[in-house]
Amino acid sequence: MALSAQQIPRWFNSVKLSSFITATQLQKHFLRPGKTLLHGFSAQPQMSSDNYFLQWGFKTYRTSCLWNSSQSTNSSRQEVGSAQGTLLPSMNEQTQKTEKIPSFDSELSLEALDDLPPVSPLQPVSEEEAVQIIADPALPPDTYTLRDYVDHSETLQKLVLLGVDLSKIEKHPDAANLLLRLDFEKDIKQILMFLKDLGIEDNQLGTYLTKNYAIFSEDLENLKTRVAYLQSKNFSKAHIAQMVRNAPFLLSFSVERLDNRLGFFQKELELSVKKTRDLVVRLPRLLTGSLEPVKENVKVYRLELGFKRNEIQHMITKVPKMLTANKRKLTETFDYVHNVMNIPHHLIVRFPQV
């Protein structure tokens, strides 16, 4: 609704008063003397608040008049159009001076920077900015080598520095998938510290982990329990470290399996506890390998080659590898030494290395 001639001065006074109060509040809250919001933009007003808000009142009044004049006759439109053409240039020039908005590309102060909204990841990017974006090459979904993932995996990088041979591990798909899922700090570091406390040297970690990468899938408490079991069987710390180095999969066996293996050798070979312990310390692979070759060789020594039980015990405690030797090679060697060279059994027992 258009204002009458009597209402215009009263309306200007109310607008001027409310606008002055609002401007004073904003100036006290944001624009401090001697402070700048943006680089090169002064907080001091370029013109008085009275003139500024008076011009704002003219603009509002002109907009209201234009809206009402659209419903009048064609002659009144022309008059309003001519008056608008007369007022528009000066009003636009002053408005551009007073309503100058600072650029956000300028350097912001710390106080103003806290008030800025976060940048949205969905913010559109111009073509010039898009061309400058350099994206890393995508990782292949399927590959036959871990080389493609080393540059993108901190875990693989640190394992390489430890001396782990990834070319041997990548032959096992389950191993590659396991290592790529592990976090070095959370999953691997604690296992490395455990092995070092056990007695594995730094220069031995690479070889050990190349053979037994599956130790990273073991629970640390289970590993400590297996070590505690060996200690309960009077294996010294040095012996345990030696056994773990020579038989990397030893710690992957549960306590029940380790106990069954020790009981088998003590019962099958009729050895004492001390001799059984010395046997597995010298050849710890007896605890992790298959028991079938051991059973077969014991029968061969006794039935085919004619050795007595006590002679077999003496030979295997001196040369534990005789328990895992190839059966065909073992019989061929004995045939040549005993039948061709005519060396009797008692001399072979004294020198079982032959």
Q: What is the pLDDT of residue 80?
A: 42
Q: What is the pLDDT of residue 167?
A: 85
36 phi/psi in degrees, rounded to 5: -125, 135
Residues of the chain with pLDDT under 70: 1-119, 121, 135-149
Q: How far is CA 233 from the centre of its chain?
A: 40
pLDDT tens, position by position, 283-297: 999 999 999 999 999
Which are the contacts of 141, defined by CB distance < 8 A and separation ≥ 6? none
The HSE-up count of residue 184 (CA atoms within 13 Å, CB side) is 10
Q: What is the pLDDT of residue 352?
A: 93
For residue 288, which of 204, 231, 216, 211 has the smallest C-alpha distance? 211
pTM to 2 decimal places: 0.58
Q: What is the pLDDT of residue 137?
A: 57
Q: What is the pLDDT of residue 169?
A: 84
Token pair recorded at residue 332: 């061929």
Q: What is the pLDDT of residue 113?
A: 57
Q: What is the pLDDT of residue 177?
A: 78
Helix (H) or strand (E) holding 29: helix 7-29
CB 160 within 8 A of CB 205: no
Q: What is the pLDDT of residue 247?
A: 94
d(CA 354, CA 351): 6
Cα angle 40-45-51, degrees, rounded to a multiple of 5: 145
pLDDT tens, position by position, 297-323: 999 999 999 999 999 999 999 999 999
Q: What is the pLDDT of residue 315?
A: 95
